Chains A and B, each alone.
Chain A
Amino acid sequence: MNIPLGWGVVGAYVLLLVGIGGYVATVTRKTREDYFMAGRGLGSLAIFMALFASNITAFTIIGHAGLSYQVGYGAYGYVIGWSIFITPFTYYLIGYRSWLLGKKYGYATQPQVFGGILNSRAVALTFLALLLYYTLPYLVVSIIGGALAFSTVTGGAVPYGVACAFIVGISLMYTVPSGLRGTVWTDVFQGFLFIIVVLLLLFTLGNALGGFSAITGRIFEYDPTLLQRGADPTLTPINWFSFSFVNSLAVIVFPQMFVRIMATRRSVDMKRVSVYYPLALALVFGVSTLLGVWGAVTIPGLSGKEADNIVPLLISEYLTPIWMALGLVVILAVIKSSVDSQLLAVSHMVTDDFLSRYFKITSERAVLLGRLLLLVFSAVAFYVAIIQPATILEIAAFAFSGFSIMLPVMIAALYWNRTNPYGVCSALFIPAVLLHLWYFGGLPEWSTFGFMPVVPSFFLAAFLVVVVSLLTPEPSPEQKAKTFGFFRKVFGR
């Protein structure tokens, strides 16, 4: 991609991002609510693109295309099928009730919402610890994936370490001055850029390969098993079922997604997002699936991790070099829209849910602290991305499952007034320990009954929150009334 025009495209993209961040910083006030929550004023477009851009990662265009290359069209349903419906549904199931409580009581993060519902410091701190524990490795892996892609696409002209510094540095340039509002408006830009470039890429590449029907004809000839779900040994029904509990249920638990929903201006904005979200998810993953499967018949023979390079390979083989620059910009866009929101979310939680608990911190001081923590977490994430310790990468491998198994607790706390802190803490802690034992080999494989470890952990969490809550004292009537009396006014009986 070493062409002046290509670097010009990347440079223009970076300038636009910094420009948006710089402008937004001028309208962002130095208050907690404005810096971390954008004044709870995100409208339909802003919240839609903010959630969408944060939800889409490098996996969408690299990893998913690689999987589609290997297993065929079945990858579409396997990876994103259930998410298409359940992810926007969780915006209703968890998002709306949490948002109502946020508007009423000023909550912004999960530790505040669930600690507040149960009036429990232990619940708040357990939520905080687990969310940080899973988010930080996930953040590091996002940086590693992005830097590797950046370095590969530029043919090594940008070394891996420089690519890491670039991703983190550019994210900081607009996130530090402008907070949530800045990350959201850069997401709007990056989200549109992603959708437009990916659609153009699909049609241009389809044309270069002889048209959609011609390529599909070649698939029939070359390997008809690519057309069938279940033809590949990866896509067994039990894996398919298990995977329903991994990525799709985790999204609402990601702190960066949760906080954005809490920052929505009106209920109607959330409703619009929930209705249109399935179409956006299906569109981008659909394109990635098509590119991956088309690659299987036009550039056959890639195996393992090599298959993840299929989109850059298709571009370099069939399109002009400028497409490589656009492809790189898309990869940077999806990575940075996740990295900036994750960095801000962890800084926000540590400021508001940890430091503010123990120290008297004014609103303006909280913004300053948040900015300092952004720098600290970025430096740590950069360092870890450089040295790539095995344990961090192993934790990241099951971070999605870790987030997912927190969902039963969130549902119970928002829908069942008998839920108490004992039930919640046990349901957060014990399944998380078991998940670690399964992934680190501390428990035999047969003990998951053939399912992925997330499945028994998820149902155990649901079981524990109910049974332990029933066996221990119920919350006081005042405590129940604070949340459920309020909900009754909104939803009726």
Chain B
Amino acid sequence: MRPVTFKIRLTLVVILVLGMFLLHNSFWWWDLDKHLPLLWGFMPFAFSYYVLYALLAAAVMFLIVKIAWPEPPEGIFEGTEDEELDDDLIRGNLEEANLTGERKG
């Protein structure tokens, strides 16, 4: 089976984000505020909806981390080609990094 490309993973992420945006702008559910019972005796639907939304947001972020947030490969930060970056835009930072080697941390 062919591995799932990052483009497909990113497309899944976009779908998740759009879904969350839709759930936030769910005006068609606002009428439920009048009818649904209180959660735990004190949370009306207008409030408890966003308590549940926060739990869902954490779950969706967990999913995004799993499907589209790869760890940087070993050694990827080593061997920076400094000649490529030797412009005055980032001169100060590069000098600092070259002096201390901290950039490679």
What CA separation (Å) do A278 and B80 show in the bound complex? 36
Total count of chain A residues near the partner, CB < 8 A: 77
Known: A361-B92, A489-B73. A82 touches B27 (CB 8 A): no
A169 within 8 A of B: no
Q: Which of B80-99 contact A (CB under 8 A)?
A: 80, 84-85, 87-97, 99
Known: A85-B60, A493-B7. A105 touches B80 (CB 8 A): yes
Known: A76-B47, A244-B21. A88 touches B71 (CB 8 A): no
A436 within 8 A of B: no
Q: In the complex, what's the smallest C-beta–C-beta distance from A263 to chain B, in angstroms? A: 11
- Assess whether A227 is in contact with B33, with CB atoms less than 8 Å apart: yes
A315 within 8 A of B: no
B56-83 contact mask (Cβ, 8 Å, vs A): 1 or 0: 0110111011001111110011001000
Q: Which of B14-59 contact A (CB under 8 A)?
A: 17, 20-21, 24-25, 27, 30, 33-34, 38, 40-47, 49-51, 53-55, 57-58
- Assess whether B46 is in contact with A72, with CB atoms less than 8 Å apart: yes
When distances are taken between beta carbons in the complex, the residues of chain A under 8 Å from B73 are 489-490
Chain B interface mostly helix, strand, loop or mixed?
A: helix
Q: In the complex, what's the smallest C-beta–C-beta distance from A396 to chain B, in angstroms? A: 26
Q: Which of B46, B71, B92, B93 contacts A267 (CB 8 A)?
A: B71
When distances are taken between beta carbons in the complex, the residues of chain A under 8 Å from B21 are 82, 86, 244
Known: A31-B100, A240-B25. A227 touches B92 (CB 8 A): no
- Assess whether B42 is in contact with A228, with CB atoms less than 8 Å apart: no
Q: In the complex, what's the smallest C-beta–C-beta distance from B55 to chain A, in angstroms? A: 8
Number of A-B residue pairs with CB-CB distance less than 8 Å in the complex they form: 208
- Assess whether A106 is in contact with B50, with CB atoms less than 8 Å apart: no
When distances are taken between beta carbons in the complex, the residues of chain A under 8 Å from B102 are 31, 33-34, 39-40
When distances are taken between beta carbons in the complex, the residues of chain B under 8 Å from A31 are 96, 99-100, 102
- Assess whether A366 is in contact with B53, with CB atoms less than 8 Å apart: no
What CA separation (Å) do A478 and B84 show in the bound complex? 9
Output the nearest chain B residue to A237 by Cβ-Cβ distance. B27
Stretch in contact with the other chain, from A114-122, A172-180, A298-306? A114-122
A212 within 8 A of B: yes
What CA separation (Å) do A278 and B92 show in the bound complex? 36
What CA separation (Å) do A244 and B65 show in the bound complex? 23
What CA separation (Å) do A86 and B57 show in the bound complex? 9
- Assess whether B42 is in contact with A89, with CB atoms less than 8 Å apart: no
Q: In the complex, what's the smallest C-beta–C-beta distance from B89 to chain A, in angstroms? A: 5
A133 within 8 A of B: no
Q: In the complex, what's the smallest C-beta–C-beta distance from B98 to chain A, in angstroms? A: 9
- Assess whether B38 is in contact with A103, with CB atoms less than 8 Å apart: no
Output the nearest chain B residue to A236 by Cβ-Cβ distance. B27
When distances are taken between beta carbons in the complex, the residues of chain A under 8 Å from B88 are 121, 357
- Assess whether A241 is in contact with B25, with CB atoms less than 8 Å apart: yes
Stretch in contact with the other chain, from A44-52, A153-161, A268-276? A268-276
Output the nearest chain B residue to A276 by Cβ-Cβ distance. B58
Output the nearest chain B residue to A280 by Cβ-Cβ distance. B54
When distances are taken between beta carbons in the complex, the residues of chain B under 8 Å from A478 are 84
Stretch in contact with the other chain, from A54-62, A281-289, A448-456? A281-289
Known: A240-B25, A493-B5. A103 touches B77 (CB 8 A): yes
When distances are taken between beta carbons in the complex, the residues of chain B under 8 Å from A361 are 92
When distances are taken between beta carbons in the complex, the residues of chain A under 8 Å from B70 are 490-492
Known: A121-B89, A363-B99. A85 touches B53 (CB 8 A): yes
When distances are taken between beta carbons in the complex, the residues of chain A under 8 Å from B30 are 228-230
A468 within 8 A of B: no
When distances are taken between beta carbons in the complex, the residues of chain B under 8 Å from A277 are 61
Known: A92-B69, A267-B71, A289-B47. A33 touches B61 (CB 8 A): no
A41-85 contact mask (Cβ, 8 Å, vs B): 1 or 0: 100000000000000000000000000000011101100111011
What CA separation (Å) do A31 and B93 show in the bound complex? 11
- Assess whether A286 is in contact with B47, with CB atoms less than 8 Å apart: yes
Output the nearest chain B residue to A91 by Cβ-Cβ distance. B61
Q: In the complex, what's the smallest C-beta–C-beta distance from A97 to chain B, in angstroms? A: 11
When distances are taken between beta carbons in the complex, the residues of chain A under 8 Å from B91 are 356-357
Q: In the complex, what's the smallest C-beta–C-beta distance from B18 to chain A, in angstroms? A: 11
Q: In the complex, what's the smallest C-beta–C-beta distance from B15 to chain A, in angstroms? A: 13
Q: In the complex, what's the smallest C-beta–C-beta distance from B14 to chain A, in angstroms? A: 10
Known: A105-B90, A482-B84. A84 touches B47 (CB 8 A): no
What CA separation (Å) do A326 and B11 show in the bound complex? 47
Q: Would you list the 5 A-B pairs with minimal beta carbon distance, nearest first?
A: A356-B92, A282-B54, A212-B42, A278-B57, A85-B57
5 new A-B contacts, CB < 8 A, other than A73-B46, A215-B42, A268-B71, are: A76-B50, A106-B94, A227-B33, A229-B33, A490-B70
* 6 residue pairs bridging A and B, Cβ less than 8 Å apart: A33-B96, A84-B53, A85-B20, A85-B61, A216-B42, A275-B62
Q: Which residues of B contact A (CB under 8 A)?
A: 5-7, 17, 20-21, 24-25, 27, 30, 33-34, 38, 40-47, 49-51, 53-55, 57-58, 60-62, 64-65, 68-73, 76-77, 80, 84-85, 87-97, 99-100, 102-103, 105
